[in-house]
Amino acid sequence: MQGLPIQILDDPFVLSAVLAALLPLLAAGILTGGIGGTIGIRAAGCAIALAFVIAHLSILGWPPLPPRSSLQKIVYIALIGLLLGVVLDFLIDRVPIRPVALVWPGVILAWLGWQQLHGFEVLDLARLVLLWFAGAFVFDRLLAFRAVEIIAPTMVLVAGLGMSAIAMIGNAASLSQLAAAVAAATGGFLLWNWPKQRYPFSMIALFGAASALFGVGATIVLFTRASSFALAILLGIFAAGFIRARLPLSDRPVWGPIAFGIIVMLPMLLAIAAAFFVAPVSTD
Amino acid sequence: MRLSNLAGITAVVVALAAPQVATAAEPFAVNKPHTIVSFTVDRLGLTKVLGAFSKVDGEFTVDRDNPAASSANLTIDTASIYTGFEARDKHLRSPDFFNVQEFPEMKFVTSKVERTGEKTAKVTGNLTLLGVTKPVTLDVTLNAIKEDARTKKNLAGFSARGTLKRSDFGMKYLVGAISDEVTLSVELLGDAK
């Protein structure tokens, strides 16, 4: 057993998850203390994207600029999403956010998947359009519930966990780690909000986290053999806020969170099961 | 991958050995069933993992009068990778390594041939992998150029060895546990066109 803790920290999977979970705790505290006031509290949201970026670098190293592969593009997508969130946080009362949330996933997809359109195959185009719809749905649902307790970041966390498992089953280990990093980073942010909410899920937090999550998810769909069907089931997670609001128990102090927990976890478990059973059986 | 350069080397050798039959650049097409690009990487410092690409295509020319003018252009189907273990092959095809859905081909185009011996040469070429193009140098040996008894056309056979750093091409996943340095081995057969 001697040296076991060191062996665990040598594991890149554990390291990325631990890093991604701890960094938001540090970053949110430093940003809030350093900047102070309302801006500082909003800025704490960058902790999620920053933690994801650092986890990405620990897994795959610093990507070139311009990036060549989709994996390398994801880190820039998270950073651009973060900057977009900063701008939107300052303009929140002056510009409509929903159109941005509709267009931004399309921009991400265009950058990641434009090569898929070389042959203008109908199936490739349809896949990109469906992915765009999925991304717009995710951003829209997060926007709709971002101010309702911790519903939005919880949906990101659970989706990240599910995506990580699906990518792992689909033989895409680094993408599995990146999805886990999104979940861990959001989890670290959520720890600051327990047991009492201290930081809002600001535009910075939302666009940083959702951009990273969608970038990882789109790359899994476009460039791996992981189950797209299972990933589609994961979208059910983002309907959890809507369903919770319509449950009779939703305003109860104990049963409300329990019911939400069940609603948000169920699609994740179904998606992982689907990925597991749909995955082709190895002949070796 | 410096097979093209190998072709150039072949040209040099042929020019020296048989000047009486010297001709202009002689084109060869890759003989797919008898050409293979293989590699080894160190895993955890314990063992070497052996792998290969079964689908290699392309052509090369051998200029017997001016070997430096010989050229080669090879394309490797990255999805054809195999290591004898299907689960590992799937992982190698994923974005963690060869990212075959985004980058289905790897290319090697020769740029320079330097003769080092009677049947050997250093062949430098540009290798494009994962969208990154970098020079790679291979030590190439001309095994033989013989007439195919069946077709009465020349066959040119080369062996090439070299190394590269996969991180130079952006393949950085698990560098450390799996060595950055990759040893390449190429066995190339060409059919005269």
Q: What is the pLDDT of residues A129-166, one digit of tens each?
A: 999 999 999 999 999 998 888 899 999 999 999 999 99
Contacts of A116 in chain B (CB under 8 A): none
User: Which structural domain, as residue segments, surrounds residue A83?
Assistant: 7-278
**In-domain check, residue A15:** yes
Q: Which of residues 79-108 of B touch A (CB under 8 A)?
A: 85-87, 90-91, 93-96, 99, 101-103
Helix then strand then coil, in percent of chain B rounded to 5, is 20, 50, 25
**In-domain check, residue A109:** yes
Question: At residue A208, does pLDDT exceed 50?
Answer: yes
pLDDT computed for residue A7 by the predictor: 55
Question: At residue A215, does pLDDT exceed 80?
Answer: yes
Q: What percent of chain A has pLDDT over 90?
A: 46
Q: What is the pLDDT of residues A259-277, one digit of tens each?
A: 888 999 999 999 999 999 8
Residue from A69, A74, A169 to probe the interface with B (highest B Cβ count within 10 Å): A69
Element at B180 (helix H, strand E): strand B178-192
Tokens of A60: 């795959």
Query: What's the rounded mean pLDDT across residues A10-38?
Result: 68
Of residues A61, A68, A174, nearest to B130 (C-beta):
A68
Q: Can you tell me the ipTM of this complex?
A: 0.80
Judge whether B44 is closer than 8 Å to chain A, CB to CB: no
**Number of domains chain A is built from:** 1
At residue B81, φ and ψ (nearest 5 deg) are -65, 140
Query: What's the rounded mean pLDDT across residues B3-13?
Result: 48
Q: How far is B97 from chain A (nearest CA, A)?
A: 9
User: Which structural domain, as residue segments, surrounds residue B113?
Assistant: 3-21+28-192
Instruction: Give me the torsion for CA of B126, B128, B129, B132, rounded to 10°.
Output: 100
What is the secondary structure of B37-66 as a DSSP string? EEEEEEETTTEEEEEEES-EEEEEEE-SS-
pLDDT computed for residue B169 by the predictor: 94
Assign A90 a pLDDT band (cuts: 50, 70, 90).
confident
Question: At residue A100, does pLDDT exceed 50?
Answer: yes
Question: At residue A112, does pLDDT exceed 80?
Answer: yes
Question: At residue A283, does pLDDT exceed 80?
Answer: no
Report the length, in residues, of chain B. 193
CB contact under 8 A, A172 and B174: no
**In-domain check, residue A284:** no
Q: Which residue of B has its CA nearest to A225?
A: B94
**In-domain check, residue A283:** no
**Number of domains chain B is built from:** 1
Which pTM value belongs to this model?
Answer: 0.85
Q: What percent of chain A has pLDDT over 70?
A: 87
CATH classification at residue B141: 2.40.128.110
Contacts of A175 in chain B (CB under 8 A): 94-96
Q: What is the pLDDT of residues B18-27, one digit of tens each?
A: 444 445 788 9
Question: At residue A119, does pLDDT exceed 60?
Answer: yes
Residue owning tokens 């809002």:
A200
Q: What is the pLDDT of residues B66-106, one digit of tens each?
A: 777 778 899 999 999 999 999 899 999 999 999 999 999 99
Question: At residue B115, does pLDDT exceed 50?
Answer: yes
